[in-house]
Structure 1
Amino acid sequence: MNTLTRKLATAGSALALAASGLILASSPASAATSCYGPSCTGLDPSTSICQNDARTVATSSWGAELRYSPTCRAAWARQSGGLPTTIWVESNTGLERATSAGGGTVWTAMIDDKGIYDRACGHIIEGGESCTSWY
């Protein structure tokens, strides 16, 4: 094998190795949690596949959003910006998850929404309480 061929083979191998490392390193979605209905309860939606198809299905007068994932059949509350607040998501079965924040975007852990009605609520410090409609 002449010197030029050897150098090209070495460079090609190095490029192939580097490319395979990039492909493997750029797949964080495979590390996302998968759940359905009751198995989603208590999980963080930001580390699950549930955030991929989530949509806001209701918003309270003070900005608490009820987020819902049809794939996971799970719901959670989210609020962006605003005053210091406590938000929570609750179901008609009494299940509840809450979080407090001093501003910025915050969300609760998920709760089961399979065959259950849920709503998101917020309590603004030095204010009152506001909830979405049941969904």
Structure 2
Amino acid sequence: MRRILSLAPVLAVLTLAALLGLTVPPANAAVSCYGDYCSGKNPYTTIGPGGRLCSSGAYSVAFKNAPYDPNLRVDVMWSPHCQTNWAQVRWQPTNLQIKQDTGYNPGGYYYQGGIWNTAMVYSPVRRVSATACHAYAGCMSTAWV
């Protein structure tokens, strides 16, 4: 009897949480990509292995500035979490793409909170290059990384 009474508060809290919709899904329920299945997806909305956004912890591995305006630059981003690359700019491009050395280009790009980015390319061993075009500054491409 003593054991049942000590569980009563725990059961009450769990029941209340369930009624309020405060349940916790399994850790792998939110994962929306893994490996090459991350290619073609938006890094800012895609949840990779471990339940983290692919953009989480990402950093630039290469960049290229426009010839006459250092504020216009294109970056090749790398997600160690999802092992993907994508192109990123902080200005509205007329064209933006990431290309893998196999010729693969996922096409399309997204706007997310002041940042334009391409879809991701799963590329743990392949090289990639980013190209961005601006209406007045022309096009710029990064080195292959």
- For the criterion TM > 0.5, the same-fold answer is yes
From the two aligned structures, give the one with the greater helix fraction.
1
Q: Which residue of 1 aligns with 2:38?
A: 40
RMSD, matched Cα:
3.0
Q: 1:29 to 1:57 in 2, by over 3 A?
A: farther
- How far does the alpha carbon of each residue in 1:20-71 deviate from its partner, in whole angstroms, 9 at most, with x for none? 532427x8984132311x3322122221322233221122203211111223
Check whether the contact 1:86–1:101 (CA below 8 A) recurs between aligned residues. no
Determine which of 75, 83, 95 is the counterpart of 2:104.
95
Determine which of 99, 124, 130 is the counterpart of 1:120.
130
Rounded Cα–Cα distance in structure 1 between residues aligned with 2:93 and 2:86: 19
Structure 1 stretches of 5 or more lacking a match?
1-8
Check whether the contact 1:83–1:125 (CA below 8 A) recurs between aligned residues. no
Structure 2 stretches of 5 or more lacking a match?
1-7, 49-53, 66-71
Rounded Cα–Cα distance in structure 2 between residues aligned with 1:86 and 1:101: 11
Q: Does 1:54 align with 2:64?
A: no
Q: Which residue of 2 aligns with 1:70?
A: 80
**Percent same amino acid among aligned pairs?**
25
Check whether the contact 2:77–2:85 (CA below 8 A) recurs between aligned residues. yes
Figure out how many residues of one structure are paired with residues of the other and give that number: 122
Largest Rg, 1 or 2: 1
TM-score, normalised via structure 2 length: 0.66
Alignment partner of 1:60: what SS? strand
TM-score, normalised via structure 1 length: 0.70
Check whether the contact 1:85–1:100 (CA below 8 A) recurs between aligned residues. no
